[in-house]
Structure 1
Amino acid sequence: MSQRYIEAREKYGNIGVDTEQAIEKLQRMEIAMHCWQGDDLGGFDFDGPLSGGIQATGNYPGKARNAEELMRDIDQAFSLIPGSKRLNLHASYAIFEDGKWVDRDCFRPEHFRKWVEFAKERKIGIDFNPTFFSHPKAKQFTLSSTEEEIRKFWIRHGQACIRIAEYFAEELGKPCLVNIWIPDGYKDIPADRLGPRMRLKESLDEILSMDYHKEKVFVSLESKVFGIGLESYTVCSSEFCINYAAEKGILALMDNGHYHPTETVSDKISAMLPFHERMALHITRPVRWDSDHVVLFDDETKEIAKEIVRNDALERMFLSLDFFDASINRVAAWIVGMRSVQKAFLYAMLQPNEALKGLQEKEDFTKLMVWQEEQKFYPFMDVWEEFCVRNQVPAGEEWLSVVEQYEKAVQSSRSAEL
């Protein structure tokens, strides 16, 4: 225990904050690291460009080209991230052994056996996402398609993913979040907004009509304000998502890149908590739009963390990152994003939240502003360093030299072709 940490612990103690308690909470908090940063959301079940209103930009060398390389990169990132982790997996990362390929509506638990083995060895849980994009049957619409054959295909895919999620939960002994996001919408002003939403509702109803273990599998629905080629209308809007989740007793997932630029998820959390027992978040960094930049220790990330911590809602949240930046080293991107979110939550845990609430209730807004500003200069980084030391990972930028060595020894040998 360093002298700087001892002094920081005393300083925070003087305002009623227990740094040991904060470190313990952060140690237990599980954040799901998204697999798709490692290969730019390519997956293993189809070759070809991304489609469905998404894209990855950049061509930094060293991209993982198969499951073995992706797992190795994930391990490298995990080794430099303190605390507890989970893995967030897209269905398109199915692993077909012996070349026995099947389409997405026929995915089964055995296609994810290697991911379960990977998770068991690391004692982590897995969250899961049906992949409703980058597929011949996802050219324009999926669950809201006018074509019954297309809708049925994606309904079967959604149900298959719930069965796979049960497999994850049972094998790993941890609940699994299944998050549904679809890329359905129109580039220009539609003549019928209601029809696609009614078809989406019917499709979701059919997916959820299957029998599954609701204490092991939590289904969420994710909204989006627009996408590439879907600028005027998205079927699964925020209002649709929240209303459907409330009616069906599933989770509403909020991605802080999926709203208008002047909206903030940090403000929405407290509006959702009175009505939803559990919530799910995809934490990203939009730059003017849903651009999925690497998460930083920025104001909105800190505000999201503060809203969750001050309302004692950590146990009610499924937290995951969601970005894919191919312009920089992909392992470094994971590490920056995960550590930034952890820093934001530690910063929130080190706030004298009850005292600040008391000032607001007394309408002492002058003192509230002063205290909030002064908190920014408390020795937060000394507590972060202690947290890293206890987890035996570098506290500062020295972790980058490890990634650079890994890039030189491992990633640089990967050619564009297998």
Structure 2
Amino acid sequence: MEATVIGTGYVGLVVGTCLAGAGNRVTCADVDETKIRRLNAGDVPIYEPGIERLISENLAAGRLRFTTDAAEGIRTADVIFVAVGTPPGEDGLADLDYVRNAARVIGDNLRPDTVVVMKSTVPVGTCERVRAEIARRTDVPFHMCANPEFLKEGDAVGDFLYPDRVVCGVDSEHARQCMEGLYEPFIRSGNPLIFMDIASAELTKYAANAMLAARIGLMNQFAELCEHTGADIERVRRGVGSDPRIGSAFLYAGTGYGGSCLPKDVWAIIRSAEKQGVDLGILRSVAEANDRQTTVLVRKIVRRFGDDLTGLRFALWGLAFKPRTDDMRAAPSRAIAEALRERGAAVVAHDPAAMEQAREFYLGDAVEYAANEYEALDGADALVVVTEWLQYRRPDWSEVAKRMPRPIVFDGRNVFDPDRMASRGYEHYPIGRRQVGPDEIP
């Protein structure tokens, strides 16, 4: 099948590359000339495990190509995926400018009976607006489909190749058959390909992210209660997660959710519902609680050192919003670093993948960047663990002790056990667990 993917961000690259790997001929288009040059040279602009090898293999096999000329790919496509960004506007609603631009290019170059697939996360009704925009520019028949993505950054390739479900909102039998053919290689293990109407498919994506955000938010609030009552959020998590009606996923307390999806999608569905006269009050509380949770470590630091942090130096382990990605969008590390610097502290950071992104787009030279996690500790008054990369979970504690003048750890992802930290002689401030202060060091 001939497929064209408009947009080469996280979603577009994964979709295009994996479809090519299944034997389709895929054109990935983007307006960013620099990005396209890099991709055609085999230089992948994102950190996503497995994607670089797949791109290289499919480029070499001739099944995948990258271009700035979307029109060329549209004119030969059986199916077109719209995978452009939908960033939040000033009002919190999804900004659909890139979607509208894609619709115009599609309308000007469409061939008959093409299936236009909305892969971007968009409010309910967007596919109908895209359909109208295309129809204003062409008389040829075409079909619409809403096919929301459920890709986890850091595991996106595996999520596409082995999906736990695929949701498709279609408007015709032709669109249904097209999507069945595309996804048949990826659902051979029996996981469902779920067909529904377009509006329901659009809302399914937002509803899924909203529920995941609510789980994280609830656990973070229970973690705060644990700190006041002496309960342990990790034990609570295991007890709650063992209930099959609830399950164990997305029940980890920490510094709040971040990334490109949950923060913007939660606010987008809240604002979209308001336009329909519907108040999603529970979800608004989740979003507001998460905004506060991103600086929970700062509040712990201030309680330990005071509000004026002038002259103090903090080592940050982790910049990306989660492990196995370089994505800094809405990463809690940004709010933490900025708050510490506003109080006069110096910040030195390490991350296995995200330091280039942090320096170029987000934090600039406002923080120092260490070559490895241990170098970040040199002269630090405290270690602040923000992202639970695997290499941070079992550090060489003798090396840590040699480099830090004071054994103090603020553990934003509950990586370390409080009792073991106390036995090592460390002050330890986790989330929702026993806080080991200076008076408790053996």
After TM superposition, is the score higher than 0.5? Answer: no
Q: Which has the larger radius of gyration?
A: 2
TM-score (norm 1): 0.28
